[in-house]
Amino acid sequence: MYDVNTTKIEQVLTHMKKMLEILHELVAEGEQSIANSRVSTVAMERALHLSIEAIADVGNALIDGFIMRDPGSYTDIVEILRDERVIDDQDAKTLTETVLFRKHLVNEYTQVPVSQMVRLVEESLPALEAFAPKVQAYLKQELF
């Protein structure tokens, strides 16, 4: 029997959904508008960062609960989720690129490349939005 904290996973996925709604609103403003607004820039940085952390938290909960191999990094988490067929190859590729951007948000936060961030968000939103339904489908398949 597996010990998966589905309550915690659902809480994190619910919060991630709120962050993705914010990212959608910001992307609709356009790159120039975001770049010219400190509030929009910081909001995008924060919403993207929390989305990345959500992937890591949910991934770790699945990895721990289903006793998958131990990850060594954020990209390993995505790779394990792909290997275990929680997410598909294309989403894994996109999410790997997304989690790699975390370095800018956490370590190089004084010089976040706004144009690169906006493009990344635009390109990764479909994979980010697909993450929760794929996790939920995996849980349903494995637990019920």
- With beta carbons less than 8 A apart as the criterion, state whether 4 and 139 touch: yes
Cβ contacts of residue 92 below 8 Å, gap of 6+? 78, 79, 81, 82
CA distance 80 to 59: 8
Compute the 3-state secondary structure of the chain and give helix, strand, coil in percent, each to the nearest 5: 80, 0, 20
Q: Is 102 a catalytic residue?
A: yes
| List 46, 82, 85, 102, catalytic entry | 102
- With beta carbons less than 8 A apart as the criterion, state whether 57 and 12 touch: yes
Residues forming the active site:
102
